[in-house]
Amino acid sequence: MECFLTQMPTIPLFALPSGLEITACSQQEGSLCVSLLSTQPASHCPLCSSAAMRIHSRYQRKLADLPSSGQPVRFLLTVRKFFCDVPTCPRKIFTERLVPFVAPWARVTARLFQVVQIIGLAAGGRLGVRVTDRMGIQTCRTTILRRIMALPTEPVGQVSQIGIDDFSFRRGRKFGTIVVDLQTRHMLDVLPDRTADTSAAWMTAHPEIELVSRDRGGDYAAATRKALPGATQTADRFHVLKNLSEALEGVLARHLAAHRKRQTEPARASSVLASQTQEPPKLLSKNVALSQAKRE
């Protein structure tokens, strides 16, 4: 069997955007280190958006990228600083931007950021670390949770029924407020504290609210009266059951006290009658009384 060499197109090892070139590749401490060089002819100022071509200096950024065959990849990216020649622009020197490949001041590429974010949404923090370890991505559960928290929050639309309650960022020290849509069971917002003014300010922005389910505290009640005077206030399910249990305990305690009183009255009367019908105790002799006192 004969083998023939054919001309094959050159396929880049890494999917890089235009304007980046690979200058070197080496293996260091179990990671694949790839040196990259930015070759863009010009860069736009982040403030005035004008094109700049005069180079001020160069420096190197270290970035983590998606693993290659289970091996961690590190990019050593050489970027440039440019002069902004617009006289009215307050930014005189700026660093070239390589968005969307990598965000400014980021230490990971955008695609690695998104992959960790997707894993965190699917598996959470602790289980997500197990998945990333198998894939060769070096991260921790705290980083995965930060990636999830970096997702933009959805805007709050029209809501008619809300549930509001407090929770603790740090137990016994710092508290916040959570607002939930009672119809969709989705969280609407998290407020930085549990004061009445903060809750009233949030409710004022949503005058369409008709029902507010809250706890028995006075802060949320005052906030609702201030921001939504026409809304109906009701206790949430937990506090409804708590009110019911406390009322039931009070009723049972009163009935139990009356029942015990009815039971103890005949017994007390019979003991008094028995003590009256008994003969008076015999007087002990002097010697017997003395020995009894010593024994006691």
- How many Å apart are CA 224 and CA 199, to the nearest integer? 8
What is the domain range of residue 167? 161-235
Do 207 and 228 share a structural domain?
yes
d(CA 9, CA 4): 16
pLDDT of residue 280: 55
Same domain? For 119 and 205 the reply is: no
Judgement on whether residues 169 and 140 belong to the same structural domain of the protein: no
Side chain identity at 170, as an amino acid letter? Answer: R
Q: Which two tokens stand for residue 291?
A: 């020995």
Residue 7 pLDDT: 47
The predicted pLDDT at position 178 comes to 92
> What is the chain written as a DSSP string?
------------SS---TTEEEEEEEEETTEEEEEEEE--S-EE-TTT--EE--EEEEEEEEEEEEEETTEEEEEEEEEEEEE---TT-S--EEEPP-TTTS-TT-SB-HHHHHHHHHHHHHH-SHHHHHHHHHHT----HHHHHHHHHTSPPPPP---SEEEEEEEEEETTTEEEEEEEETTTTEEEEEES---HHHHHHHHHT-TT--EEEE-S-HHHHHHHHHH-TTSEEEE-HHHHHHHHHHHHHHHHHHHHHHHHHHHHHHHHHHHHHHHHHSPPPPPPPHHHHHHHHHH-
Please give the pLDDT value at position 270: 66
How far apart CA 191 and CA 148 sit, in angstroms, is 18
Is the bond leading into 87 cis (omega within 30 degrees of zero)?
A: no
What is the pLDDT, as a whole number, of residue 13? 67
Looking at the fold, whether 25 and 144 belong to one and the same domain comes out as yes
**118 with 227, same domain?**
no
Q: Mean pLDDT, 10 residues at a time, over the chain (296 residues)?
A: 46 78 88 90 91 93 90 92 93 92 93 95 92 91 92 83 90 89 89 90 91 87 90 87 88 82 71 58 68 72
Judge if 129 and 168 occupy the same domain. no
pTM, two decimals, is 0.62
Contact between 18 and 100 under an 8 Å Cβ cutoff? The reply is: no
Picking from 56, 57, 45, the residue whose alpha carbon sits closest to that of residue 88 is: 45
Residue 249 lies in a domain: no
193: its two tokens: 């504290």
Provide the pLDDT for residue 216: 81
Residue 20 CA, chain-centre distance (Å), reads 37
Backbone φ, ψ for residue 192 (5° rounding):
-70, -15
- Residue 261 in domain: no
Tokens of 118: 């997707």
Q: What type of residue sits at position 290?
A: L
- Whether 244 is covered by a domain: the verdict is no
Predicted pLDDT at 156: 80
Whether residue 121 is found in the same domain as residue 175:
no
From 185, 207, 235, give the residue that closes a domain: 235
